[in-house]
Amino acid sequence: MKLIKLSIWAAIVIISTIYSQEKKDMNNPFYKTWDTPFQTPPFGEIKLEHYLPAFQEGIKQNDIEVDAIANDKSKPTYENTIGALEKGGELLTKINYVFYGLNSTITNDEMQKINDIVTPMLTKHNDDIRMNEKLFERVKEVYNEKEKLNLSSEQKMLLENYYLDFVQGGSNLSKENKEKFRKINEELSVLGVKFGQNILKETNAVGLIIDNKADLAGLPETVIQGAVETAKEKGITGKWAFTLQRASWTPFLQYSPKRELRKKLFTAYITRGNNNDSLDTKKILTRMASLRVERANLLGYKTHADFKLERNMAKNPASVFKLLDELWTPSIKRAKMEAADMQKIIDKEGGKFKLQPWDWWYYAEKVKKEKYDLDEEMLRPYFKLENVIEGAHLVANKLYGLQFTERKDIPVYHPDVKVFEVEDADGRHVGILYIDYFPRDSKESGAWCGGFRDQSNMDGKFITPLVTNCGNFSKPTTDKPALLSIDEVTTLFHEFGHALHSLLNVSVYPGGKRVPIDFVELPSQVMENWAMDPEVLKLYAKHYQTGAVIPQELIKKIEVSQHFNQGFVTVEYLAASYLDMYWHTLTDSNERDAVKFEKENFAKLGLLPEIESRYQSTNFLHVFSGDGYSSGYYGYIWAAVLDADAFEAFKEKNNVFDPETALAFKNLLINAGSEDSMALYKKFRGREPKIDALLKKRGLN
């Protein structure tokens, strides 16, 4: 009898297939090859009852794959260990992307219950892999011989990330400490889900109901109409409703002269998670901070921040605080000047009160009108959502040759969603982009970039990415299309920048290019520079009624006012970044009083009483709804230094679409994650970034 020697991966596939066919319900769409354009998810076929069995099956299959790799008797090599791990978990990855993508956009009580069940299952599964001693020995052996192997830069980075995954995943811990580690991870995963669910409910709440038409004084007609439709959606008849979604509460604070109503709405927003009720998050977050210290200490790190920053460009907490401190002084100075300007208007009007946080937006609008003869409502007619989307696409075309074609034959998960096929200049398919820009109760607040599939190229099989851009922008009203604010326009360009990164980045392995959190915001934030560039505005800012291009006079006003309110914008952001670091540089696991801890630290910092942090501990989703941006919220300002410096490279050529610079930046996007981020940036810029461009851009120098 002739023996056939199978590769480790072929054996895994055969065993896994035999095992999985025993109990699987083949009507479950996750077990099939999707017969849709580009194998996009068939959302219409996916039902709630499909998720849990698919997760369970995905975990079973991945367990078999991992055990086969760990128990392989042959010498560990890159391909039979790291490569095999990357090829594994295909079903689990497939269900993960769809479930969590939809749980953040069209969630409901049933999905949240599934999430409650699945999250600890996945946490245990990941811990089982990271604490598999045989598997770690194989990874370690390959890691120790990395210099002898002929690895590409991507393979080296992937190997180093895998090794650190295992070390930070508890592989070196004693048996007793491994159990402690597991329990901490399980509890953290459950707490993070609960935090996110509570804040979703808090954010969707109605913050202000108006039943007296006189209380609508000063509000633009579009804002009033939006409040009417929000009230209808909430089942409130004959009244006007404002929610705690930014697109709803911000215009009210900008335009309403009713100070007590502004205070009521603003207070409702900043006290999300801090109302001593069933949705309160104080105990959740303090327990999470405590557990994170315990986990870091178990692994030999002084703080959670040390644990998280090891992979980032910053490397350690001292580097983060150094950057924040460099920006804090000029930002506070500028913010004090801005507050003084507003106080002058209050005094001039005979207000007889001191400027408070709920007054800032209202009087900032007055200052803008007085100093620059500019207000938001003058600009909104030129920022019709569809035109802004087209503008972002035009920028991508001019920079990178990308073409965007709307596809109506690709399934969507909600009627608000639009889908675009992305091709390069030669017509080659690059990927799919889903856009989902309107708020709803089933959707998380804020804006983000996600996806339903990563790009990869294993075994010569090139798989293109499925990318999502989500936001909560101003909705269309009965008589007007969606007209965006400047902040919403720049946010759209920001998330589109993330999408371009995902579409252009080329990787062999689906997990091959993990970009540090303080570098990943560079591709997004740099796009914001094009959003308000005079040359670009002329391409897409057209009046929604007449089609007239935005007049030069308004463009000039935008240019002149670019430093307006930048002290406030920077201070409120920096305050949140400090808050993140304060919680995560704790060296003991004592559970603090969240409100007292926050108040004391902001007092030491010298936060102005007229400004609240962008987020409070009790609603800081970035850092307490999972590990996500914990110890990483600073990354936006770290990347802001990079993005201002990077855009300066285009300006130095006197052409924001300079082909040579665009190609160099495209190469940065293609290769991001394949080598050290600073080395990659220096290849693009020819030197390390300087903080000067950011200070100049924000008028803080």
Q: In terms of Cα–Cα distance, which of 330, 309, 331 is closest to 318?
A: 309
Q: How confident is the model at residue 9 (pLDDT cuts 50, 70, 90)?
A: very low
| Predicted confidence (pLDDT) at residue 264 exceeds the cutoff of 50 | yes
| Residue 191, pLDDT score | 98
Q: In terms of Cα–Cα distance, which of 53, 185, 71 is closest to 126?
A: 185
Q: DSSP string covering 82-140, please?
A: IIHHHHS-HHHHHHHHHHHHHHTTS--HHHHHHHHHHHHHHHHHHHHHHT-HHHHHHHH
| Residue 26, pLDDT score | 80
**C-alpha to C-alpha distance for 115 and 200, rounded to whole angstroms:** 14
Token pair of 62, please?
Answer: 């991945």
**C-alpha to C-alpha distance for 472 and 495, rounded to whole angstroms:** 12
> Known catalytic residue: 294?
no
Tens of pLDDT along 609-623? 999 999 999 999 999
Count the Cβ atoms, other than its own, within 10 Å of residue 337: 10
| Residue 4, pLDDT score | 33
| Residue 375, pLDDT score | 87
| Predicted confidence (pLDDT) at residue 249 exceeds the cutoff of 50 | yes
Q: In terms of Cα–Cα distance, which of 367, 364, 346 is closest to 355?
A: 346
535-552 mean pLDDT: 98
Torsion angles phi and psi, residue 429, rounded to 5: -65, 125
| Predicted confidence (pLDDT) at residue 24 exceeds the cutoff of 70 | no
| Residue 16, pLDDT score | 43
| Residue 23, pLDDT score | 59
> 86, 365, 495, 528: which one is catalytic?
495
> What domains are defined for the chain?
8-172 (1.10.1370.40), 206-270 (no CATH), 282-374+567-633 (1.10.1370.10), 381-560+636-698 (1.10.1370.40)
Helix axis angle, 246-255 relative to 360-372, nearest 10°?
60
Q: In terms of Cα–Cα distance, which of 337, 330, 393 is closest to 364?
A: 337
Tens of pLDDT along 641-659? 999 999 999 999 999 999 9
3-state secondary structure of 666: helix
227-244 mean pLDDT: 95
**C-alpha to C-alpha distance for 278 and 217, rounded to whole angstroms:** 35
Give Cα separations from 275 to 9, 264, 283, 575, 622 (angstroms): 54, 14, 12, 22, 20
**C-alpha to C-alpha distance for 222 and 238, rounded to whole angstroms:** 17
539-558 mean pLDDT: 97
Q: What residues have CB less than 8 Å from 7, skipping those under 6 apart?
A: 80
Q: In terms of Cα–Cα distance, which of 191, 71, 208 is closest to 119?
A: 191
Tens of pLDDT along 127-142? 999 999 999 999 999 9
Q: Count CA within 13 A, CB hemisphere, residue 175.
A: 0
| Residue 18, pLDDT score | 42
Sheet-wide strand order for 418-423: 403-406, 418-423, 429-436, 466-470, 448-453
Tens of pLDDT along 304-344? 999 999 999 999 999 999 999 999 999 999 999 999 999 99
